[in-house]
Amino acid sequence: MKLATRQKWVDALRSGQYKQGKGCLREDGRYCCLGVLAEIEGLLDADGAVDDNKALLPRDILPLFEQRILATMNDDGATFIELADKIPSLITCED
């Protein structure tokens, strides 16, 4: 992931613009933390999925290990602010 993308994602999570949900990328106007990334990158389709997957992103966007950690934290009740604090230490950048 590029540093600019990671920062844009962290900023979006902190913005208050997205209502937090769990269990899927986007449903009923609510997003998991991965869904916010998919939204800002223009990857979500009308059904709230990326490549027919409503729970995870393609591995070339974000490795599965990191996705599972963040999705679990999100679904276990971590706030978007807490997740935004965790992302820089968890997600390495290419540049």
- 29-85 pLDDT, tens per residue? 999 999 999 999 999 999 999 999 999 999 999 999 999 999 999 999 999 999 999
Q: Is the pTM of this model over 0.85?
A: yes
Is residue 95 in a domain?
no
Distance CA 86, CA 44 (A): 23
Is residue 72 in a domain?
yes
Distance CA 49, CA 15 (A): 22
C-alpha dist (Å) from residue 41 to 9, 24, 32, 38, 76: 9, 17, 14, 5, 25
Is residue 62 in a domain?
yes
Is residue 67 in a domain?
yes
Instruction: Show the DSSP H helices in 2-95 as ranges.
Output: 3-14, 33-40, 64-75, 80-90
Q: How many domains does the chain have?
A: 1
pLDDT classification of 94: cutoffs 50, 70, 90: confident
Is residue 8 in a domain?
yes
Domain extent at residue 64: 3-90
- Where residue 23 falls (left for φ over 0; alpha for ψ -120 to 50; beta otherwise) is left
